Amino acid sequence: MNSEVTIRTERLTKHYGQVHALVDLDLDVRAGEVFGFLGPNGAGKTTAIRTMLDEIRPTAGRISILGMDAHTQTVAIRHRIGYVPGDLAMYPNLTGHDTLTYFANLRGGVDWKHVGELADRLDADLTKKVGDLSSGNRQKVGLIQAFMNRPEVLIMDEPSSGLDPLVQREFQAMMREVASEGRTVFLSSHTLSEVQRVADRVGIIRHGRLIALESVSDLRSKAIRTIDLEFATPVPAQILKAVPGVREVSVEDHRAVLSFDGKMAALLKTVHEYDVVDITTREADLEEIFLAFYRDEAPAT
Amino acid sequence: MMLATVFAKTTRDRWKGVVVASISLALLLLMAMAVYRDIDLSIYTQLPQTFRTLLGIPEAADAASLGISVLYGLYGAMTLAGLAISMGATSIAGEERAGTIGLLLANPKSRTHILASKATSMVLLTGLGTAGLWLSAIVVPAILDVSISGLHIAAYAVHILMNALFYGFLAMAIGAWTGRRGLASGVSAGVMVLSYLAVGLFPLLRGWESAAKAFPWYYFDASKPILNGVDPGHLGVLIGGAVALATTAWIGVGRRDLQSPNTGVTLLDRLRTHPLTKKLIDRLAGSTRVSRIWIKTASEYQGMLIITAYLMFIVMGVLMGPLYSLMDTTLLRYVDQMPKALLAFVGAAGGDMTTAEGFYQVETFGLMAPIAVMVVAITIGANALAGEEARRTMGLLLANPIRRSTVVLEKAAAMALHAAIVGFATFSGVWVGSVLGGLGMRVGNIAAAAALATLLGLVFGGLALCLSGATGRMRFATFGAIGAAVSFHVATSMVALNDRLVGIARWSPFHYYLSSDPLNNGMNWRHAAVLTALAAVLVAFAATAFQRRDLRQTA
Residues of chain A found within 8 Å of residue B287, distances taken between Cβ atoms: 98, 101
Question: Within 13 Å, how many C-alpha atoms sit on residue B398's CB side?
Answer: 28
Residues of chain A found within 8 Å of residue B398, distances taken between Cβ atoms: 53-55, 78
A21-50: string of b/e by CB count within 10 Å (b at 16+)? bbbebebebbbbbbbbbbbbeebbbbbbbb
Query: Furthest-apart CA pair in chain A: how many Å?
Result: 74
How many Å separate Cα B63 from the centre of its chain? Answer: 26
Rounded to a whole number of angstroms, the distance from the CA of B183 to the nearest CA of chain A is 16
Q: Are B468 and B477 in contact (CB under 8 A)?
A: yes
pLDDT computed for residue B1 by the predictor: 44
Residue A301 carries which side chain, given as an amino acid letter?
Answer: T
Contact B399 A75 (CB under 8 A): no
Average pLDDT, chain B: 86
Q: Are A209 and A66 in contact (CB under 8 A)?
A: no
With bands split at pLDDT 50, 70 and 90, how would you rate the model's confidence at B67? confident
Rounded to a whole number of angstroms, the distance from the CA of A179 to the nearest CA of chain B is 21
Contact B290 A98 (CB under 8 A): yes
Nearest to B70 by CA among B238, B228, B224: B224
For residue B402, give the 3-state DSSP assignment: coil
Q: With residue B334 as reference, give the H or E element that holds it.
A: helix B329-336
B375-405: string of b/e by CB count within 10 Å (b at 16+)? bbbbbbbbbbbbbbbbebbbbbbbbbbbebb
Sequence-separated (6 or more) residues with CB below 8 Å from residue B108: none
Residues of chain B found within 8 Å of residue A75, distances taken between Cβ atoms: 401-403
Q: How far apart are CA B506 and CA B496, in angstroms?
A: 10
Q: With residue B147 as reference, give the H or E element that holds it.
A: none
Q: How far apart are CA A22 and CA A33, in angstroms?
A: 23
Give the model confidence (pLDDT) of B455-514 as tens digits.
999 999 999 999 999 999 998 999 899 999 988 988 887 776 666 767 777 889 999 998
Q: How far apart are CA A174 and CA A185, in angstroms?
A: 10
pLDDT computed for residue B358 by the predictor: 85
The pLDDT of residue A277 is above 80: yes
With bands split at pLDDT 50, 70 and 90, how would you rate the model's confidence at B322? confident
| Burial class of residue B218 in the structure, from the number of CB atoms within 10 Å of its CB (0-12 exposed, 13-18 middle, 19+ buried) | buried
Q: Are B554 and B390 in contact (CB under 8 A)?
A: yes
Per CB distance under 8 Å, which residues of B are interface residues toward A?
Answer: 261-263, 269, 286-287, 289-293, 296, 300, 391-403, 550-551, 553
Contact B287 A98 (CB under 8 A): yes
Sequence-separated (6 or more) residues with CB below 8 Å from residue A23: A13, A207, A208, A209
Q: How far apart are CA B223 and CA B231, in angstroms?
A: 6
Q: How far apart are CA B518 and CA B360, in angstroms?
A: 11
> Helices B368-390 and B474-495, interaxial angle, to 10°?
160
B66-104: string of b/e by CB count within 10 Å (b at 16+)? bbbbbbbbbbbbbbbbbbbbbbbbbbbbbbbbeeebeeb
Give the model confidence (pLDDT) of A121-160 as tens digits.
999 999 998 888 999 999 999 999 999 999 999 999 999 9
DSSP conformation letters of B279-290: HHHIIIIIITTT
A-B contacts at Cβ under 8 angstroms: 86
Contact A132 B300 (CB under 8 A): no
Nearest to B361 by CA among B371, B349, B348: B348
Q: How far apart are CA B183 and CA B175, in angstroms?
A: 7
Contact B550 A131 (CB under 8 A): no
Q: How far apart are CA A252 and CA A13, in angstroms?
A: 51
Q: What is the pTM of this model?
A: 0.78
Q: Are A286 and A219 in contact (CB under 8 A)?
A: yes
Q: How far apart are CA A281 and CA A259, in angstroms?
A: 10
Rounded to a whole number of angstroms, the distance from the CA of A53 to the nearest CA of chain B is 7
- Tell me which chain A residue has its CA closest to the CA of residue B262: A131
B292, B398, B553 member nearest A105 (Cβ): B292
The pLDDT of residue A299 is above 50: no
From A52-56, B115-119, B273-277, the region with the lowest mean pLDDT: B273-277
From A31-45, A280-294, B284-298, B378-392, the region with the lowest mean pLDDT: A280-294
Q: Are B505 and B350 in contact (CB under 8 A)?
A: no
B296, B395, B403 member nearest A85 (Cβ): B395
The pLDDT of residue A205 is above 70: yes
Q: How far apart are CA B67 and CA B79, in angstroms?
A: 16
DSSP conformation letters of A214-266: EEHHHHHHHSPEEEEEEESS---HHHHHTSTTEEEEEEETTEEEEEE-S-HHH
Give the end-to-end CA distance of chain B in Å, rounded to a whole number. 23
Give the model confidence (pLDDT) of B124-160 as tens digits.
999 999 999 999 999 998 888 888 888 899 999 999 9
Contact A55 B262 (CB under 8 A): no
Q: Are A8 and A31 in contact (CB under 8 A)?
A: no
With bands split at pLDDT 50, 70 and 90, how would you rate the model's confidence at A293? confident
The pLDDT of residue B54 is above 70: no
- Tell me which chain A residue has its CA closest to the CA of residue B273: A127
- Tell me which chain A residue has its CA closest to the CA of residue B404: A75
Sheet with strand A19-30: strands edge to edge? A19-30, A5-16, A60-65, A68-69
Helix, strand and coil percent figures for chain B, each rounded to 5: 75, 0, 20
Q: How far apart are CA B368 and CA B313, in angstroms?
A: 11
With bands split at pLDDT 50, 70 and 90, how would you rate the model's confidence at A266? confident
Q: How far apart are CA B506 and CA B503, in angstroms?
A: 6
Sequence-separated (6 or more) residues with CB below 8 Å from residue B254: B110, B111, B112
Rounded to a whole number of angstroms, the distance from the CA of B307 to the nearest CA of chain A is 20
Q: What are phi and psi of B355, to 5 degrees?
A: -115, 155
Nearest to B216 by CA among B233, B241, B186, B248: B241
